[in-house]
Structures are given as C-alpha cells and as structure tokens.
Amino acid sequence: MRWLVGIELAHHRRQAGLSLSEAAEKSGVGRPKIGHMETSKYIQWPADVATLMSTYGAAKHDADRLASLAGTTAGKSWVAPWSNIVPDWFRTFVGLEGLAENEFVFEPILLPGLLQTADYAEAVTEATGFVRRDHSERFVSFRLARAKRLTDDDPLNLHAVIAEGALRLAVGTPEIRRAQLKHLLALAKLPNVTIQVVRPEDGPHAANTGHLVVLDFAQAQSIAYAERVDGAVYIQDPADVRTYKMAVENLKSVALSPAKSLSRIRELID
C-alpha cells in the first residue's frame, strides 16, 4: 500500500515542477521525510499526504483519495511464509496483485501463474532450474496460494490473453497438459475470469514486446508491469500506463473472442 501512495506522491510533485527541496520549503514537510514517503520507507500519515497534495495543487478528490489510502493498513503480507524463496521484485508484484481489483495479463510463452495447476506449476518450476530442488515444493505451494485470489470472498477480476503457443508448449507429460487445459475451461466458468487465445493467424498486435500485466486499483492509479529474466519493470507514469492500456485493447480485439477461445482449447484437448 505504501508503495502505491509513494509513486503517486512522486508523480504529483513532478507534475507541479518541484524538486524535493522546493516541495519541503513550500509544504513545511522535511525534505528527507518527503523522499522517504515517496520511496515508501516512512509511514505516510494522512495529514502529511494531504499537506503535500495541497502544495502540489492536486485536485481535492485526488488529495482525499490518497490521504484515505495512506490511512489504510494492509496488514502482514500473505507472502511472508515464502519470503526466502520468492525474489523481492516478485514479492512486490504479488503484494500489489493482492490489492488490485482488476488484472489483465498477456502470456506469450507460459500459461499465467494464476491459472496453473499444481502439476503444471511443478513441471515448469523443475524445467526452468531457477528454484533449488529442496525449495521446489514450497514454490509450487506459493503459486497455488496466489491462485486463491481468484476464488476468495473478494475475488480478483482476471482477463488473460494467452498465445496459442503457450497452450501447446510441452510442459510435463501429455496428461499434465490435458488436465491443465481442462482447468482453464473450469476457471473460465467463474464470473471474474475471462480467457482469450491469440493465434499466429490472427495477425500482429500491439503487445509485441512479450509478457505484460496491467493492474487496476479501487483507490490508486493503475500500474503496468513487465518481467525480465532476473527482475521486473514497473510502469508508473499515467501517460505510459495509458499506452499499455491501448496495447491491451488492441490485443483483446485481435485475439479470438472468449467463446471461440474456449472452443479452441477444447479442440486442443481433443
């Protein structure tokens, strides 16, 4: 939660054309404190957030929203039991995912983690070699715990576009792959899960840089996220996020409709 507040405070300060020193002078909030609030290293008291947003000339509804967000505590992260096997950059992502209302994900190579079965997740984990063998079982349990976000009392709305190549990728045994495809069909029956398939014959699309995620929040600005082999990039600037959202809409329009996508998955099962 602090991370979301911090990136918005930094965005509004930059929009106001103020350096940290200038913001401190105008607001009366100390420069080190502002810097730590932006990097989420310091408790963001609602009063301080309101003062800074007023200094930056932000709209009242944005100031009230961010001050309210700063006053919200998310409690201990559910990721804590797996902290020694999940890298910091991915712990940040799943923490944000836990706060999100909506998630869009495009996967060109593998099936999205939220949609994986235990056997599929285990086969992927063993094949990549990034997780120690003695940690493999715990890493799979982490993936399954993360997937519960789709079926909890306040479920995440997930829209996944999957490249057909990911559906056909030889992960594990044929039985594992068949069970995984059936799992996709079962999840697609949930009212909060939408699955689309994009095939090579559907033509080019705007998401040509590979895997991407866009997260939408009830009170915070949306962010985009893209993974690398050893880390991730978080896209926070609203203008850049809008560009990603345009790519998302283009990808949705190019991919098969949800109904035709499920038919294609059934064909692969058969």
| CATH code of the domain covering residue 20 | 1.10.260.40
Sequence-separated (6 or more) residues with CB below 8 Å from residue 259? none
- Residue 245: its H or E element: helix 238-254
CATH number at residue 217: 3.30.870
Say if 75 falls within a structural domain: no
Overall pTM > 0.85: no
> Residue 270 has which token pair?
């058969």
Question: Do 128 and 230 share a structural domain?
Answer: yes
Question: Do 215 and 163 share a structural domain?
Answer: yes
Question: Do 261 and 142 share a structural domain?
Answer: yes
Say if 9 falls within a structural domain: yes
The Cα–Cα gap between 247 and 71 comes to: 34
**Domain-ending residue, one of 17, 42, 70:** 70
Question: Do 129 and 200 share a structural domain?
Answer: yes
Nearest to 174 by CA among 132, 119, 213, 237: 119
Cβ-based neighbour number of residue 27 at 10 Å = 20
Instruction: Per residue of the chain (270 residues), give pLDDT as tens.
Output: 677 788 788 888 998 999 999 999 999 999 999 998 888 777 788 888 889 999 999 888 778 777 767 766 544 456 666 666 666 667 778 777 888 899 999 999 999 999 999 899 889 888 766 555 555 566 677 878 888 889 988 899 999 999 999 999 999 999 999 999 999 999 999 999 999 999 999 999 998 878 899 999 887 788 898 877 666 787 878 889 999 999 999 999 999 999 999 999 999 998
Domain tally for the chain?
2
Enclosing domain of residue 177: 80-269
**Domain-ending residue, one of 16, 44, 70:** 70
Q: How many residues does the chain have?
A: 270
For residue 105, report the phi and psi dihedrals to the nearest 5 degrees: -135, 135
**Domain-ending residue, one of 70, 99, 117:** 70
